């Protein structure tokens, strides 16, 4: 542990934020169905039928049946849900919406990158920020440091002798700009991960992770958190939610992966969940009505999940107006069209979370420029 | 892999036709080289670049190809940069028989069944189709792909893509194939795209990559793989309550033509979707699987209004071409494509004046892709010294350029594909319709895996790919010549020192900062 303390500095005092992005526009009405609303059943005669097998959260909302592994987090008060979430821009383009949302509006760099660059204290360790996957997500653009990682084992300089590494480091040290910075991050991260690899730890408290890529990513994040390497922010994607066609099986499988992964992560971290917050978000929701192909098309509002220590959980947060036709957002001129409106801006969820992680008003203003924040009170 | 019907046919007719149809001209030298793994022998004048910075010759090689091979700099110097650009803009006139043979030999099933085994002059009637008219039927050509295991097909398609990028003399064509593959991205993991993407690659992307944009767009719109990938096949109006499926219509406007700020409205998306209702593809449970057809009764035949143009009721299948005419000719489409082309060939944040010149040339030439590129390569911005060596290679470009620079012998098999997966840039693996990102910012955190590929390749740890560093150095004429060949310029003093002290000079060059850029 002495080695890790040197690596991390005071890493164990840090909180860790994990952002899970459901790419492809997850259907919030399938994940957190308003089962007590007759309009829901009317708009989705075929798709809504499955909701009766789900978890009853309160008198009005349920949780998708495959999300049952998260029921205990809800009952323990560690899971809060905000429905009708999204952004003010009504683009229904996945890419534009993800881009806008991850940039935190029309702004240079990503919101999480800007947060990390401006939050006190200004010094970030090389492993302060990890993106699980193959590439850096837009939300981390501009982060003082960010490492892309698929597995610890791969995070080594294969076959290179010390001389090779020394010479390579020398050449990159002469590089200015982004390439030089990326190389320095890479060399720093190499050193830290090598230390982690020498003392691998199995999941704690009997947690069992699935074999899918998403769960494996969460398991590695848990290892980094438990090893006190100073991880402050991490991102991981769960893609594949664009359910235009026969969505039932697709949503079931993804909802299962999401909930099982999160439940294992929560169990594995145990009391460390007190300093960890997980946010689940997506670019926009889907049409209230099902389409002719048993799917749903691009809509507006979806649900956000916030899981972690100190969360005022076990209840819904934010504004909700129901699905009565006059409460829906109209678009186009054809009859019967309406979308769940965005009643809760995603920034008001994220800013509440960032405040919990130590953000002050000044750096929240830099994180979400051009927007008057009105953070929800997601923490007790 | 079991033989296809076509191979039976070919076996039967081969004896009659094959020897007389042009195989003889290829010569023994080619036959010797078609075994996998393969590369070209180092021959001719291999004089390396001599300038201390990237010169105009290395610059066009960096941007128009997937990296210079030993000897390329000398060849382009001899013919001149303008002649090289014109050569690359007319790929049909380039003799590419080594690459063609390698693909034909290893990947016969990816080729057009009408012509692959029996070479013929362009435009001449297909001898096989003359004997078996059914082969001319689109569904037969596409349906045959279903005979393969989907994973085999995808791996073969990826390998063929990689091999072509490494071996082909038609380098700009391969670069543009990648460009349009991203532009009209299809992730074959969705539905029957897993078989049909191979037809899309052959009949849409490769057929039109350096052709006419309107034809490319039309081919893509009715590509069976695209109809699967963006749900066009289930976009229908069977009853009055049916909503159209907007998926393809939206991406057509947002990604394929006008661009997200091209001035269309949500209502336009809906109207385009209505125009395209009824186009579908027969799935594999049905006879003539893979066949694209227009089903009149699933078409919404009412009047529509798209981008201010009235489309009268009753046009049926004709709605499709009306829509494509409108969007292809829209000024926002020329601007959108010019932006993407300039981003690929000039800089991640391309200069306005260059984009305007490319858009104007594209429009003036009626959507000719070579005309747009010719204008692009003539812009002062493309030719400015500050543009040179300033673009970060995407990982596919990086890997292929390493194989080309070292004249590696490769079969493009599993290890190389695995490296590309690790680098996040394996062919046909991008899930969303926007295609792999172009900008450096997306790729900069892949450095470690680039370094690892460099050491593995030179160290002989990439199975199926070998580099003979000693032979390369000897043929090029020593360390300095090797450095200049790989870097496209004379090495700096720091690079020379690092090369000699690293213990593996060639790997160090491939891992060095300079080799990451083009």
Give φ, ψ of A100 to 5 degrees. Answer: -60, -45
A170 close contact with B: CB closer than 8 A: yes
With a cut of 60, say whether residue A2 has pLDDT above it: no
A326-340, B2-16, B184-198: range with highest mean pLDDT: B184-198
Six-digit token string for A330: 């109209």
- Tell whether A184 lies on the interface with B, counting CB pairs under 8 A: no
Asked if the model's pLDDT at residue B19 lies above 70, the reply is: no
Q: Does A267 contact chain B (CB < 8 Å)? A: no
The domain spans of chain B are: 230-329, 331-387, 395-516
- Quick check: A244 and B452 CB within 8 A? no
Residue A105 φ/ψ region, left for φ over 0, alpha for ψ in the -120 to 50 degree band, beta for the rest: left
H helix intervals, chain A:
2-8, 28-31, 38-43, 71-75, 94-103, 111-118, 162-173, 177-197, 213-226, 247-269, 346-356, 361-367
A164 with B504: Cβ contact below 8 A: yes
On whether the A2-155+207-367 domain is CATH 1.10.3470, my answer is no
Contacts for B478-482: CB closer than 8 Å, 24+ residues apart? B479/B505, B481/B46, B481/B48, B482/B48, B482/B506, B482/B509
Say if the Cβ atoms of B511 and A168 lie within 8 Å.
Answer: yes
**For testing the chain B interface, which of A97, A102, A108, A168 should be mutated: the one with the most B CBs within 10 Å?**
A168
Cβ pair A252, A149 in contact under 8 A: no
Q: CA-to-CA distance for A22 and A12, rounded, in angstroms?
A: 29
> What are the residue boundaries of the structural domains of chain A, listed by start?
2-155+207-367
Rounded distance, CA B417 to CA A36, Å? 51
Q: Which of A36-45, A192-201, A270-279, B27-36 has the lowest mean pLDDT?
A: B27-36
Mean pLDDT within B379-405: 97
What angle (nearest 5°) sits at the alpha carbon of residue B50, between those of residues B40 and B72? 20
Q: How many CB atoms lie within 10 A of CB B493?
A: 7
Q: Which of A47-56, A199-208, A291-300, B478-487 has the highest mean pLDDT?
A: B478-487
The region that residue B39 occupies, defined by phi over 0 for left and psi between -120 and 50 for alpha, beta otherwise, is beta
DSSP letter for A316, please.
E
Helices (H), A291-332: none
Q: How far apart are CA B304 and CA A224, in angstroms?
A: 56
Spell out a b/e string for A222-237, using b for 16 or more CB atoms within 10 Å of the CB, else e: bbbbbbbbbbbbbbbb
Residue B136 has pLDDT above 60, yes or no: no
Where does the pLDDT of residue B147 fall: very low under 50, low under 70, confident under 90, or very high at 90 and above? confident
**Residue A108 contacts B, CB cutoff 8 Å:** no
- Over residues A314-363, the pLDDT tens digits come to 999 999 999 998 899 987 655 665 899 999 999 999 999 999 999 999 89
**Is it the case that residue B440 has pLDDT exceeding 60?**
yes
CB of A176 within 8 Å of any CB in chain B? no
Residue A369: C-alpha distances to residues A95, A201, A350, A374, B367 (Å): 20, 41, 13, 13, 40
Q: B214: closest CA among B330, B293, B315?
A: B330
Report how far apart, in Å, the C-alpha atoms of B363 and of each of A133, A214, B87, B334, B369 are. Answer: 40, 46, 23, 7, 10
Confidence band for A201, pLDDT divided at 50, 70 and 90: confident
pLDDT at B129: 58
d(CA A90, CA A299): 9
The beta-carbon neighbor of B424 closest among A134, A159, A160 is A134
Alpha helices in A32-161 (DSSP H): 38-43, 71-75, 94-103, 111-118
Q: In chain B, which residue's Cα lies nearest the Cα of A290?
A: B243
The answer to whether the peptide bond before residue B190 is cis (omega within 30 degrees of 0) is no
DSSP character at residue B232: G
Alpha carbon distance B463, B446 (integer Å): 21
Cβ of B447 within 8 Å of Cβ of A182? The answer is yes
Nearest one of B179, B202, B173, B16 to B112, comparing CA atoms: B202
Distance from the B498 Cα atom to the nearest Cα atom in chain A, whole angstroms: 5
Is the pTM of the predicted complex or chain greater than 0.90?
A: no
Mean pLDDT across the stretch B345-358?
97
Q: Is the pLDDT of residue A144 over 60?
A: yes
Partners of residue A237 in chain B, C-beta under 8 Å: none
Among A12-26, A163-177, B96-110, top mean pLDDT goes to A163-177
Alpha-carbon distance B501 to B496, whole Å?
A: 9
Mean pLDDT of chain B: 88
Nearest CA in chain B to A97: B260
**Contact yes or no for B494 and A179 at CB 8 A:** no
- Is A158 in contact with B242 (Cβ distance < 8 A)? no
Nearest chain B residue (CA) to A156: B448
- What is the pLDDT at residue B115? 44
Determine what percent of chain B is predicted with pLDDT higher than 70.
Answer: 87
Quick check: A177 contacting B, CB < 8 Å? no
State mean pLDDT over B40-66.
Answer: 95
Taken in order B342, B345, B351, B357, the sign of the CA dihedral is negative
Report the pLDDT value the prediction gives residue A197, as an integer from 0 to 100.
79
Q: What is the mean pLDDT of chain A?
A: 88
Least confident of A98-112, A243-257, B152-166, B403-417: A98-112
Give the Cα separation of B153 and B175 in Å (integer): 22
Strand, helix or coil for residue A282: strand
């Amino acid at each position: 542990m002495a080695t890790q303390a040197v690596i991390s500095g005071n890493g164990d005092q840090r909180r860790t934020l994990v952002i899970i992005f459901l790419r492809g526009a997850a259907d919030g009405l399938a994940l957190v169905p308003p089962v007590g609303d007759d309009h829901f059943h009317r708009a989705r005669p075929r798709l809504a039928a499955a909701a009766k097998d789900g978890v009853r959260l309160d008198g009005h909302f349920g949780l998708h049946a495959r999300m049952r592994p998260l029921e205990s987090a809800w009952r323990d008060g560690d899971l809060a849900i905000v429905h009708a979430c999204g952004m003010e821009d009504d683009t229904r383009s996945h890419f534009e919406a993800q881009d806008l949302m991850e940039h935190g509006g029309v702004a240079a760099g990503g919101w999480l990158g800007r947060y990390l660059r401006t939050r006190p204290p200004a010094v970030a360790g090389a492993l302060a920020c990890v993106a699980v996957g193959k590439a850096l997500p837009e939300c981390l653009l501009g982060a003082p440091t960010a490492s892309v990682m698929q597995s610890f084992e791969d995070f080594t300089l294969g076959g290179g002798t010390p001389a090779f590494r020394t010479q390579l480091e020398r050449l990159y040290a002469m590089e200015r700009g982004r390439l030089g910075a990326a190389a320095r991050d890479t060399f720093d991260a190499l050193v830290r991960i090598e230390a982690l690899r020498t003392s691998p730890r199995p999941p704690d408290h009997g947690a069992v992770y699935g074999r899918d890529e998403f769960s494996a990513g969460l398991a590695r994040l848990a290892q980094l958190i438990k090893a006190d390497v100073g991880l402050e922010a991490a991102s991981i994607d769960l893609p594949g939610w664009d359910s235009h066609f026969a969505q039932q099986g697709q949503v079931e499988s993804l909802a299962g992966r999401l909930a099982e992964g999160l439940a294992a992560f929560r169990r594995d971290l145990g009391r460390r969940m007190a300093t960890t917050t997980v946010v689940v978000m997506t670019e926009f929701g889907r049409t209230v009505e099902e389409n002719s192909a048993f799917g749903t098309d691009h809509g507006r509002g979806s649900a956000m999940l916030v899981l972690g220590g100190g969360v005022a959980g076990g209840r819904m947060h934010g504004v909700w107006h129901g699905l009565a036709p006059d409460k829906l957002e109209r678009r186009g001129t054809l009859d019967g069209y309406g979308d769940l409106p965005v009643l809760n801006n995603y920034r008001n969820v994220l800013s509440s979370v960032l405040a919990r992680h130590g953000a002050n008003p000044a750096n929240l203003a830099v994180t979400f420029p051009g927007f008057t924040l009105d953070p929800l009170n997601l923490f007790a | 892999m079991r033989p296809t019907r076509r191979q039976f046919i070919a076996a039967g007719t081969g004896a009659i036709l094959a020897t007389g149809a042009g195989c003889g001209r290829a010569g023994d030298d080619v036959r010797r080289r078609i075994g996998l793994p393969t590369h070209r022998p180092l021959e001719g004048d291999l004089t390396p670049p001599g300038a201390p910075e990237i010169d105009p010759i290395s610059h066009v090689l960096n941007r128009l190809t997937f990296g210079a091979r030993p000897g390329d700099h000398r060849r382009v110097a001899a013919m001149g940069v303008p002649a090289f650009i014109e050569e690359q803009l007319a790929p049909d006139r380039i003799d590419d028989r080594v690459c063609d043979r390698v693909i034909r030999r290893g990947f016969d099933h990816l080729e057009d069944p009408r012509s692959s085994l029996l070479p013929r002059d362009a435009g001449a009637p297909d001898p096989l189709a003359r004997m078996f008219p059914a082969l001319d039927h689109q569904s037969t050509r596409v349906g045959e792909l279903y005979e393969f295991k989907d994973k085999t097909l995808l791996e073969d398609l990826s390998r063929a893509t990689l091999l072509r990028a490494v071996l082909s003399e038609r380098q700009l064509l391969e670069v543009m194939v990648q460009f349009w593959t991203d532009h009209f991205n299809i992730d074959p993991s969705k539905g029957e795209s897993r078989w049909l993407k191979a037809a899309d690659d052959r009949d849409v992307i490769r057929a039109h990559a350096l052709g006419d944009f309107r034809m490319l767009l039309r081919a893509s719109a009715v590509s069976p793989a695209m109809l699967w990938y963006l749900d066009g096949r289930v976009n229908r109006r069977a009853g009055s309550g049916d909503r159209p499926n907007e998926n393809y219509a939206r991406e057509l406007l947002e990604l394929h033509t006008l661009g997200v700020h091209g001035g269309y409205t949500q209502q336009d998306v809906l109207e385009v979707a209505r125009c395209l209702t009824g186009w579908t593809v027969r799935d594999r449970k049905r006879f003539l699987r893979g066949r694209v057809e227009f089903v009149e009764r699933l078409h919404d035949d009412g009047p529509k209004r798209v981008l201010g143009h009235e489309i009268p009721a009753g046009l049926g299948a004709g709605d499709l071409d009306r829509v494509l005419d409108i969007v292809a000719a829209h000024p926002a489409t020329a601007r959108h494509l010019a932006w993407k082309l300039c981003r690929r060939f000039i800089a991640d944040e391309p200069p306005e004046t260059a984009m305007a010149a490319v858009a104007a040339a594209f429009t003036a030439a009626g959507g000719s892709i070579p005309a747009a590129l010719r204008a692009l390569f003539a812009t002062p911005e493309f030719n400015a010294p500050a543009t040179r060596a300033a673009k970060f290679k995407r990982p596919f470009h990086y890997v292929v350029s390493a194989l080309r620079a070292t004249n590696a012998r490769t079969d493009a098999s599993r290890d190389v594909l695995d490296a590309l997966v690790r680098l996040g840039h394996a062919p046909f693996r991008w899930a969303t319709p926007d295609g792999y990102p172009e900008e450096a910012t997306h790729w900069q955190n892949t450095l470690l895996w680039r370094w690892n590929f460099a050491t593995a390749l030179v160290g002989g740890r990439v199975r199926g790919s070998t580099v003979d560093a000693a032979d390369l150095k000897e043929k090029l004429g020593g360390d300095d010549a090797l450095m200049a060949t790989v870097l496209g310029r004379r090495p700096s003093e720091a690079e020379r020192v690092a090369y000699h002290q690293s213990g593996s000079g060639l790997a160090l060059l491939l891992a060095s900062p300079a080799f990451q850029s083009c």
